[in-house]
Structure 1
């Protein structure tokens, strides 16, 4: 019986061969509805804040204009919304709030849509060749892309949407990491906002660890096989790398350069059970379970503490190329039976948003587009109001101001109070850091064992 304190998590898997999308409960193994008509590329499956599924589709890989993007609600097996972007989209990713979708084109362009309206807010040329993977950092202010040109680039959304700074900048990216010699296959980021690390994998058989704060390479790890998928442990002590030889390698992030493993430096072990190449990896929220998908059509769940398999799922006949682990919303999805989970969409019938636009609106069609890039915050409540756009909210404020009501003033006051509170919190954090640093320096200087003091030599 499942521990009632355990959060409900779903395993969602897709295939490139039109075998649809499968869905299981991670902890009980119960199978949910299977979703049809999906042939997604690697990194082309996304959960939009747990409200619905989105996937890019490549019906004809040889044609750059044959792609679509499909939406599925939780309670219907067929896709309900179909979009036709200007070109075929490979990777597709949503920010954690589900307000934006970013897609990487085969031309090397990045597309940035607003989910609620389907508006294409921005499009920019990011790489010389097709984009292979996209990921937001944990505070949602950065978008990291990898491509067939072997390059990993970091994009500040503040710069992308600031027309003045954008016109003055020499280039749009914050960093461009060019050390991979072949196609980038996967990218993951750690915690810490702009001070996090990035781990990238490539067909050159290396995984590289980058520093976002310094913009440099921290580690270069060579593997016995090409790595197509990586998953970063929540504690960031290790990361898992899925190889084309069917092995999952465990690489230490804080381990010394030398290793007792026969695989090479920084590789501290492996797990092997798949008969074919491992194509995708995902971790549970607590990091104790690792989910791997393979070309053999099997999905295995590993206990990272014992390195043993705890559960096996099978996805129809085709290979697996995408696997997600997502949380169910606790307050809106009670368990209705031993094998059924009533999702919020199933209960409330929330409509799916409009199709995504093909082109950016012209100036006369859209006087201005303002995007609110908000640092990630966690909430126990699921708000349908997350579909309200910033432009809609500001229009409402203007209407209230024109009516001369006090409501608009109250909105402005609340906004100022919120900004003041954030500023005070930041000041307090800096003060605490300063006090800690000052105390550390004092302790070091007064420590009798300090070499400069014990020898009587000046510091």
Structure 2
């Protein structure tokens, strides 16, 4: 059975003196199926909302009202680095080996964790960057100033130090601060979109590469957190009043697509998928599993609840972390194919102009030999079997030809022996006839 794992982060002091929960733990690595368990923990972290990022080897957390990031090694199970930045960090995300950070001054910073290179943009937002999300080719930032900026990731990472860092476009339709952003993984201009949530009680679905607003969704209270399902066909929204909404984008009444209404039509979302109890509080973070059937929500009173999307039943309490749960991130069950993997991060240095990349090769750069394939295979390798079958088929005509030649030689030998017998019989018959003629002639003369 496929094992599903996720990472959660908390912020703030313990809510009670519960001795069953380890002190100073700020990050929990969970296994949710087949049974829930806490696999490992990391200490000394207090990460606010949108301040957790997880890679294959490391966990990154920005600290509450601080200007530094904690880096934890998943392989060694400890804190690997303490990285200071010139401004307070409000949000962060990962794009490959690049950690993207939004600051309280409206600036965007990109840290190449494997080289130490740090790229900083001017403060293009007039207020703090509240959320940031990365797609294969773009970076999207939302701010308390109600604007969303779309940046080109390749332009931000240009090596020219004199390059100007400007967003490609801005999405300015919201009338209050941005609380959350989500984007699908498509790279097609016609199908990729993002969703923004705002304190103006709305979510807007955008084609961020063209800047078009595709649909506006209104909610009874303002949304705090959002999550797209893996196939980008449904949107989960957690609101301030504790309600949870599930908006299917391509259901009977299409919100998106060719069968949907005009983009100017506002869709009112009023029927909640579920609601939390007042003693639990509204969901401060949520995340959908990779099969889209399970929703996890984190709450200010320390609870992590599991919701079954398919059955729509009462949620199950998964864990109580005794502090405000601010971040939940599922770990992808699909292995990533990388030729290199950095074993340790390199701290950023703005004044440095030459960088050293240190990594361990995960794959052999030389082509695989026949001996390697035979040694690594369980039993006979497929290649060895195919070579043996090919060689056997090639030898069959040769064997048939050898057998045919031997038969012909035997027949020829027998034919020659028969001809010798026939010739001997002919010679004997000729000699007998000659003697008979001579005897007949002698009798006639007498």
TM-score bracket for the superposition, by shorter chain length:
0.5 to 0.7
Q: Secondary structure at the match of 2:46?
A: coil
| 1:222 alignment counterpart | 218
Q: In the alignment, is residue 272 of structure 1 matched against residue 272 of structure 2?
A: no
Q: Secondary structure at the match of 1:80?
A: strand
Deviation at 1:204, TM superposition (A): 1.2
Q: In the alignment, is residue 197 of structure 1 matched against residue 200 of structure 2?
A: no
Q: Is the 8 A contact 2:302 2:324 kept in 1?
A: yes
Say if 1:311 and 1:166 are closer, same or farther in 2 by CA, change over 3 A: farther
Deviation at 1:24, TM superposition (A): 1.1
| 2:29 alignment counterpart | 23
| 1:144 alignment counterpart | 140
Say if 1:213 and 1:114 are closer, same or farther in 2 by CA, change over 3 A: closer
Given candidates 346, 352, 355, the residue that maps to 1:354 is: 346
Q: Is the 8 A contact 1:229 1:281 kept in 2?
A: yes
Gaps of 5+ in 1: 333-348, 371-382, 388-406, 408-459
Given candidates 167, 172, 177, the residue that maps to 1:173 is: 167
Q: In the alignment, is residue 14 of structure 1 matched against residue 9 of structure 2?
A: yes
Q: Secondary structure at the match of 1:112?
A: strand
| 1:55 alignment counterpart | 61
Q: Is the 8 A contact 1:294 1:321 kept in 2?
A: yes
Deviation at 1:315, TM superposition (A): 3.9
Deviation at 1:162, TM superposition (A): 4.6
- What does residue range 309-328 of structure 1 map to in structure 2 within 5 Å? 311-327=316-332
Q: Deviations over 1:267-324 (max 9, x none)?
A: 5542123531111111111211111111121111222111235642224211111111
Deviation at 1:207, TM superposition (A): 0.6
| 2:290 alignment counterpart | 285
Q: Is the 8 A contact 1:251 1:267 kept in 2?
A: no
Separation in 1, partners of 2:249, 2:336:
36
Say if 1:13 and 1:293 are closer, same or farther in 2 by CA, change over 3 A: same
Separation in 1, partners of 2:217, 2:205:
8
Q: Secondary structure at the match of 2:182?
A: strand
Separation in 2, partners of 1:182, 1:105:
19
Deviation at 1:35, TM superposition (A): 1.4
Separation in 2, partners of 1:136, 1:331:
17
Q: Is the 8 A contact 1:13 1:315 kept in 2?
A: no
Gaps of 5+ in 2: 14-24, 262-266, 367-446
| 1:43 alignment counterpart | 50
| 1:447 alignment counterpart | none
| 2:385 alignment counterpart | none
Deviation at 1:384, TM superposition (A): 4.5
Separation in 2, partners of 1:35, 1:276:
25
Q: Aligned pairs, how many?
A: 334
Separation in 1, partners of 2:150, 2:333:
30
| 2:132 alignment counterpart | 134
Q: Is the 8 A contact 2:244 2:274 kept in 1?
A: yes
| 1:68 alignment counterpart | 68
Separation in 2, partners of 1:244, 1:215:
28
Say if 1:233 and 1:330 are closer, same or farther in 2 by CA, change over 3 A: closer
- TM-score of the superposed pair, with normalisation by structure 1: 0.66
Deviation at 1:118, TM superposition (A): 2.2
Deviation at 1:173, TM superposition (A): 1.3
Q: Secondary structure at the match of 1:93?
A: strand
Q: Secondary structure at the match of 1:33?
A: strand
Separation in 2, partners of 1:225, 1:82:
38
Q: Is the 8 A contact 1:37 1:78 kept in 2?
A: no
Separation in 1, partners of 2:297, 2:310:
16
Q: Is the 8 A contact 2:9 2:325 kept in 1?
A: yes
Separation in 2, partners of 1:37, 1:239:
33
Say if 1:183 and 1:91 are closer, same or farther in 2 by CA, change over 3 A: same
Deviation at 1:328, TM superposition (A): 5.3
Q: Deviations over 1:321-358 (max 9, x none)?
A: 111111357699xxxxxxxxxxxxxxxx984312233x
| 1:344 alignment counterpart | none
Q: Is the 8 A contact 1:22 1:315 kept in 2?
A: no
Give RMSD over aligned pairs. 3.3
Separation in 2, partners of 1:70, 1:312:
29
